[in-house]
Amino acid sequence: METSYGAIIGYIKRIRDNWSVLHSVYADQTSVGDYIVEDMRRSGIRNVEGINFTDQSKEAMVTALKEKMRKATCVKCSWNGYVDAKDGEWRTTCPSCESGFRPLLHIPYDENLFRDLNTERYELAKTGRILFNHPERTHDDRF
């Protein structure tokens, strides 16, 4: 399934309009070159940077995203830590005061985005690097 550049730019604009903060946009210019970055800028999207995705850059981005999703701050006592405990259990309240968490990264609910995040697959290559892919008839643009 191929997504048009216009649809991608429209989706980024929708995110920008609905989320309170969008610091920057990193656009995959691996196969299309600077075209997508320039088109995003002409469409009014600020702070766009073009990058060439490699196995190493994908692994770094996914690792950073995972770490942000694992961390939280307590709204009452300012405890900072991981929502997943070492024994594999997920915390639902602060271990210090039993209050609720505030995630460090909040992803507004979007059914399609969550589906895309959950369908991405990975495998360990012989080189020790992690390779990412997605099932047929799906895409990884939002991932």
Q: What is the pLDDT of residues 99-134, one digit of tens each?
A: 887 777 777 788 888 888 888 888 998 988 888 888
**Considering the domain boundaries, does residue 3 fall inside one?**
yes
**Considering the domain boundaries, does residue 93 fall inside one?**
no
**Considering the domain boundaries, does residue 7 fall inside one?**
yes
**Considering the domain boundaries, does residue 65 fall inside one?**
no
pLDDT at 81 over 90: no
**Considering the domain boundaries, does residue 40 fall inside one?**
yes
Average pLDDT over residues 135-140: 81
pLDDT at 126: 92
- Which residues lie below 8 Å from residue 23, measured CB to CB, with a gap of 6+? 47
pLDDT at 2 over 70: no
Residue 48 pLDDT level (bands cut at 50, 70, 90): very high
Please indicate, yes or no, whether the overall pTM of this predicted structure exceeds 0.85: no
pLDDT at 67 over 80: yes
Q: Looking at the 3D structure of the chain, how many domains does it have?
A: 1
pLDDT at 39 over 90: yes
Q: Could you list the residue range(s) of the whole structural domain that residue 29 is in? A: 1-53
pLDDT at 86 over 80: no
